[in-house]
Amino acid sequence: MPVSISVLKTFLRTLFFLPRIPGRNGGQENLRRGLSPLLAATGITLVLVTGGCRSSEPAADIVIVNGAEPESLDPAVVTGQAELRVVSALFEGLTRSNPRTGDSEPALAESWFISADRMVYTFNLRTNLHWSTGEKLTAEDVRYSWLRALDPVTASSYAYQLFYLKNGEAFNSGRTNAGAVGVKVLNPWQLEVTLTQPSPFFIDICTLPVTGVVPRWVIEKHGDRWLKASPLPTSGAYELVYWRINEKIRLRKNRNFWETAAARNSYVDLLPVGVANVAFNLYESGAADIVWDKDLIPSELLGELQKRPDFHTFNYLGSYFFRFNTTRYPLKDPRVRQALALAVNKEHILQKIVKSGGVLAHHFTPPGTQNYQAPRGLRYSPGEAKRLLAEAGFPDGADFPRLQYTFNASSGGANMHEKIAIEMQQMWKEVLNINIELRHLESKVFYMAQNQLDYDISRSSWIGDYNDPNTFLDIFGSNNGNNRTGWKNAGYDRLLAEANRQVDPLVRKGLLREAEEILVEKELPMVPLYFYVGVNYYDTNKVSGIFNNLIDVHPIHWIEKKVAASGGRR
Amino acid sequence: MRKLIIQRLLGIVPVLLLISVASFLLVKVAPGGPFASDRNVSPEIARNLEAKYHLDEPAWKQFLRYMGNLCRGDLGPSLKYRNHTVNDVIAQGLPVSILLGLSSYLFALGLGLSLGAFTALRRGSWQEHFGSLFSLLMVCIPGFVLGPALIMLFAVKWKLFPVALLESPWHLILPTITLGLFFAGKISRLFREGLRETLTSDFIRTARAKGAGERLILWRHCFKNAVLPVISYSGPLLADLFTGSFVVENIFQIPGIGVFMVNGATNRDYPMVVGLVLLYAVILLILNLLVDLAYGWLDPRVSYD
């Protein structure tokens, strides 16, 4: 505080050179003369005060606008896309995503052997594994990291991905100890993993950041603040130079990484930007090379941006849909749910509101999902919708109770959810002659309402964790915490369980398809509207190494600034 | 004087206690929890999370735990940014917010006092009307309009300043103007009124009658009195500025603490909200004390002895 007072005093003193009373002798001139020292003082103070801002660090090779500020960089804690991108660069797992296809490929593990019953996986680790700080990295580190993610004390939101491990769930809920979990170190370079059932997507699970390998000795020493340790040992292609909250994350190439030539750049800056216009301005002014987050597209510029060669869209594992609360009258009746679904003209919504931000959806599992062929789903059919509603006891909407459509504010401030809600309200009125009220809730209240089944119809979305139909279909299982519809179907549960026990991919495909038919054609606890589209912008003449894939994963170590275009920019 | 300072500083303690109780209760009353999201975690994992942050304990116990940590200067962990504590966030963001706040204050003071003096001394002329209109405009244009407009013109179109971030003094200029212009308008109006009133007082007439020069009258006799309303306005103003601005920090991507104050509430980041509210309260109370002390220094009619 004394600083502000001294500055104030300086200012008051400076002001003594300010204008004399005009009209006597040359007030205007004095005013001008008086103002100049004032302005000079302001300027000098500003320069002095801000002098410390300029840093002397080397310029980054690539600057990426990464989306909202990461909630964490701890592999066991992170859930959002923005965090996952940074975490995968810092902490590698047994496998990782191929940048071109998004498929899992060997990483810390060089190879693996799967038992005949597909219940036991034996991973062979590379023998040249080191932490970024030089220590040896062994199978014991992998085991520790997995058990840590499962440990109830860590309170990892993604721990459920490791519930496929034998006793994984029991350990997480405190019913057994770590020793009982199906992960065993055979020798420093071999890890044996036992599962509860043959899960064909288990290698994809090993790619998820939650399985990333973390340094035990640092975590045991620093506890929750281990990421602040300096130097921080990392197992990925990069090490963390610093992480300034809401300002910048700086990564430096890990020179001890097993794949010595992996990183195509030495320094990478990731800017946490949550406002689409700021992201766009930074990119346009050359302060950033890449913007990669679907929420960072200024919606009002979407039409214009689509025409540009540096604007890239691609299919993505994400679905936008709405849920029915199947515990409430009259939504208990599948015919009512079908009628409401059939009355929605999705094509119109897509053309008018979503535009190129989505692809029409009649089923839940996005197109392109591996080893899968989704069912056809229901199409817009006003006549059939009317008939079904009449059959359910509401001819021409008569006596239909007033229901509410609940939605939350969209991220990025584009009002997308609201616009879609208004459009559907109109469609239900026109086709079925029923009145649906709109209920707009603040995000946290919205999720609470959805969770407690305090809604009739509710906006929803789901992003897949890995490229397999299970990551979508699983959530509508009777006991899944993300079901949030009150819908329980024994047939559906049985099909899913049977599919995930199945060793033959073709049989599995059929079983999953049958399950999804129940979901999107017969029972409809949810109605798919559209599939998300991944969006990023970068100039292909300046940047290479980004490939469009279904899971929207773009390993940072692949990205390279083309030599001809690299200039001395900070 | 010393007695006053000690008294006031002691008085801060119960006020802070009251504020911490009130803010602690208010954030708890808000519906929805810190871990509600579009991805639901299993009941076991939810229990683990709550146990980790002691949210499963009764509210009074949580409060006592919080106060215990507070006495040791620990404002607790952030529930949203789980690798940072509230202390980390303040340590990183507060200097940035103070820097921006201070530069905006200096800008507002420089522009406001000059414009105030300019209009007060040209009473009735077209310059006064023009100046008043200008100060009115400054007060009326909100930051979320001015900021993007400045970026459009000065950063995107003419490329004179950077569009966002805070890496050099150049980066500070547009945010300073955006944040400070409103306060410059307010200060100019306060100072104009103060100056006008003082210029018509008896002691000024006496000074003139004794043959004092206009310059002397204005700066020796008038200024101190006329600037008093600006000084009392500066206390809460600086507290506001030092604790950051949500709008300006968002528009220019400045890593201050204003964003955390607002987002903390929407994220139900309980320790963040309570911690920042307490920080705001401390800054406000201290600045108010300084304002009172400045009164004693500037106004001979006020004495603390």
Number of Cβ pairs closer than 8 Å across A and B? 219
Q: Judge whether residue A15 has pLDDT over 60.
A: no
| A246 and A122 in a common domain | no
Grade residue A346 by pLDDT with cuts at 50, 70 and 90: very high
Q: Which helix (H) or strand (E) holds A82?
A: helix A81-90
Interface probe, candidates A38, A57, A247, chain B, greatest B C-beta count within 10 A = A247
Minimum distance, in Å, between the CA of residue A6 and any CA atom of chain B: 11
B156 touches A at CB < 8 Å: yes
B200 touches A at CB < 8 Å: no
pLDDT of residue A5: 42
Question: Strand, coil or helix: what is A497?
Answer: helix
- Give the mean model confidence (pLDDT) for residues B104-120: 92
Nearest-by-Cβ selection for A284 from B32, B156, B252? B156
* Domain range enclosing A241: 5-70+234-311
Asked if A270 and A86 count as a contact pair (C-beta separation under 8 A), the reply is: yes
How far is it, in rounded angstroms, from Cα A425 to Cα A439?
11
Phi then psi for residue A384, to 5 deg, are: -65, -40
Residue A460 token pair: 């929803």
A28 touches B at CB < 8 Å: no
Final residue belonging to a domain, choices A311, A341, A363: A311
Least confident of A146-155, A290-299, A378-387: A290-299
| A218 and A113 in a common domain | yes
Which chain A residues contact residue B255 at CB under 8 A?
Answer: 244-247
How far is it, in rounded angstroms, from Cα A163 to Cα A172?
8
Which chain B residues contact residue A162 at CB under 8 A?
Answer: none
A290 within some domain: yes
Provide the domain count of chain A. 3
A40 touches B at CB < 8 Å: no
Q: Hey, what long-range contacts does A21-30 have (CB within 8 A, 24 or more apart)?
A: A21/B121, A21/B214, A21/B215, A21/B218, A22/B121, A22/B122, A24/B214, A27/B121
Q: Which helix (H) or strand (E) holds A146?
A: helix A139-150
Distances from the Cα of B54 to the Cαs of A101, A247, B43, B120, B168, in angstroms? 43, 30, 16, 59, 42
Asked if A62 and A559 count as a contact pair (C-beta separation under 8 A), the reply is: yes
Final residue belonging to a domain, choices A254, A276, A311: A311
* Single-letter amino acid, residue A218: V
Q: Judge whether residue B132 has pLDDT over 80.
A: yes
SS3 content of chain A, % helix, strand, coil (to 5): 40, 20, 40
Report H helices in chain B. 2-29, 43-52, 59-71, 86-121, 126-140, 143-150, 169-199, 202-209, 214-216, 223-226, 228-242, 246-252, 258-266, 270-298
Contact B81 A69 (CB under 8 A): yes
pLDDT of residue A436: 95
pLDDT digits (tens, 9 = 90+) for A188-199: 999 999 999 888
Interface of A with B in 315-344 (CB under 8 A): none
Minimum distance, in Å, between the CA of residue B140 and any CA atom of chain A: 23
Interface of B with A in 77-96 (CB under 8 A): 77, 80-85, 88-89, 92-93
Residue B187 token pair: 């200060």
Contact A275 B253 (CB under 8 A): yes
Q: Judge whether residue A35 has pLDDT over 60.
A: no
Asked if A16 and B219 count as a contact pair (C-beta separation under 8 A), the reply is: yes
Per-range mean pLDDT, top range of A26-35, A143-152, A300-309:
A143-152
B121 touches A at CB < 8 Å: yes
Residue A375 token pair: 């069912």
In CATH, what number is assigned to the domain containing residue A32?
A: 3.40.190.10
Q: Bigger pLDDT: A21 or B155?
A: B155
Closest-CA residue of B relative to A407 is B38
Q: Bigger pLDDT: B148 or A306?
A: B148
Q: Which helix (H) or strand (E) holds A334?
A: helix A334-342
| A318 and A261 in a common domain | no
Minimum distance, in Å, between the CA of residue B303 and any CA atom of chain A: 19
Contact B266 A443 (CB under 8 A): yes
Closest CA to A319 of A276, A361, A280, A286: A361
| A201 and A133 in a common domain | yes
Least confident of A123-127, A146-150, A236-240, B166-170: B166-170
A544 within some domain: no
- Give the mean model confidence (pLDDT) for residues A32-48: 50
- DSSP states of B132-186: HHHHHHHHHS-HHHHHHHHIIIIIIIS--S-SS--SSHHHHHHHHHHHHHHHHHH
Neighbours of B37 (CB within 10 A): 15
| A293 and A415 in a common domain | no
Q: Judge whether residue A13 has pLDDT over 50.
A: no
pLDDT of residue A42: 55
Question: Strand, coil or helix: what is A288?
Answer: coil
Closest CA to B122 of B113, B112, B132: B132
Q: Judge whether residue A8 has pLDDT over 50.
A: no
Which chain A residues contact residue B259 at CB under 8 A?
Answer: 246
Minimum distance, in Å, between the CA of residue A430 and any CA atom of chain B: 31
| A35 and A87 in a common domain | no
Cross-strand pairs, A67:
A272
A538 within some domain: no
Closest CA to B283 of A4, A9, A1, A6: A1
How far is it, in rounded angstroms, from Cα B245 to Cα B97?
8
B294 touches A at CB < 8 Å: yes
Q: Judge whether residue A294 has pLDDT over 70.
A: yes
Range list of β-strands (E), A308-441? 311-324, 358-360, 403-408, 436-441
**A423 CB-near residues (< 8 Å, 6+ apart):** A348, A349, A352, A353
Grade residue A53 by pLDDT with cuts at 50, 70 and 90: very low
The count of C-alpha atoms lying within 13 angstroms of the C-alpha of B293, restricted to the half-sphere facing its C-beta, is 17
Beta strand pairing status for A457-463 and A403-408?
Answer: parallel
Asked if A364 and A319 count as a contact pair (C-beta separation under 8 A), the reply is: yes
- Give the mean model confidence (pLDDT) for residues A113-120: 93
Q: Judge whether residue A116 has pLDDT over 50.
A: yes
Question: Strand, coil or helix: what is B114?
Answer: helix
Cross-strand pairs, A439:
A406
Asked if B80 and B264 count as a contact pair (C-beta separation under 8 A), the reply is: yes
| A392 and A481 in a common domain | yes
Burial of A336 (0-12, 13-18, 19+ CB in 10 A): buried
In CATH, what number is assigned to the domain containing residue A86?
A: 3.90.76.10
- Give the mean model confidence (pLDDT) for residues B230-246: 88
Phi then psi for residue A110, to 5 deg, are: -85, -35
For chain A, percent of residues with pLDDT exceeding 70: 88
How far is it, in rounded angstroms, from Cα A371 to Cα A508?
9
Grade residue A412 by pLDDT with cuts at 50, 70 and 90: low
Neighbours of A567 (CB within 10 A): 9
A556 within some domain: no
Closest-CA residue of B relative to A51 is B169
pLDDT of residue A4: 41
How far is it, in rounded angstroms, from Cα A495 to Cα A508?
9
Nearest-by-Cβ selection for A281 from B77, B109, B151? B151
Grade residue A17 by pLDDT with cuts at 50, 70 and 90: very low
Query: ipTM of the assembly?
Result: 0.87
Sign of CA pseudo-dihedral A252, A253, A258, A263: positive
pLDDT of residue B282: 92
Question: Strand, coil or helix: what is A442?
Answer: coil
Which chain B residues contact residue A320 at CB under 8 A?
Answer: none
Average pLDDT of every residue of chain B: 89
pLDDT of residue A569: 41
Closest CA to B101 of B12, B191, B234: B234
CA A156 to centroid of chain Cα atoms: 16
How far is it, in rounded angstroms, from Cα B173 to Cα A49?
12
Q: Which helix (H) or strand (E) holds A96?
A: strand A95-97
Q: Judge whether residue A22 has pLDDT over 70.
A: no
A423 within some domain: yes
pLDDT digits (tens, 9 = 90+) for A485-498: 999 999 999 999 99
| A332 and A299 in a common domain | no
Residue indicated by tokens 């400076």? A14
Average pLDDT of every residue of chain A: 86
B133 touches A at CB < 8 Å: no
Interface of A with B in 96-155 (CB under 8 A): 152-155
| A244 and A146 in a common domain | no
pLDDT of residue B95: 93
Interface of A with B in 404-423 (CB under 8 A): none
Least confident of A70-74, A120-124, A261-265, B244-248: A261-265
pLDDT of residue A52: 46
A566 within some domain: no
Which chain B residues contact residue A459 at CB under 8 A?
Answer: none
- Give the mean model confidence (pLDDT) for residues A445-464: 92
Q: Judge whether residue A26 has pLDDT over 50.
A: no
pLDDT digits (tens, 9 = 90+) for B157-209: 898 999 988 888 899 999 999 999 999 999 999 999 999 888 888 888 888 88
In CATH, what number is assigned to the domain containing residue A354?
A: 3.10.105.10
Cross-strand pairs, A62:
A268
Contact B250 A5 (CB under 8 A): no
Which chain A residues contact residue B94 at CB under 8 A?
Answer: none
| A252 and A180 in a common domain | no
A259 touches B at CB < 8 Å: no
For chain B, percent of residues with pLDDT exceeding 90: 45
Q: Bigger pLDDT: A432 or B266?
A: A432
How far is it, in rounded angstroms, from Cα B49 to Cα A230?
27
pLDDT of residue A44: 54
Q: Judge whether residue A37 has pLDDT over 80.
A: no
A427 within some domain: yes
Sign of CA pseudo-dihedral A156, A158, A160, A161: negative
Final residue belonging to a domain, choices A311, A346, A378: A311
pLDDT digits (tens, 9 = 90+) for A519-528: 999 999 999 9
pLDDT of residue A473: 95
Residue indicated by tokens 């975590």? A219
Question: Strand, coil or helix: what is A306?
Answer: helix
A514 within some domain: yes
| A364 and A328 in a common domain | yes
pLDDT of residue B123: 80
Interface probe, candidates A18, A158, A475, chain B, greatest B C-beta count within 10 A = A18
Least confident of A246-250, A392-396, B126-130, B177-181: B126-130
| A359 and A447 in a common domain | yes
pLDDT of residue A564: 55
Closest CA to A406 of A350, A462, A456, A345: A456
Neighbours of B149 (CB within 10 A): 12
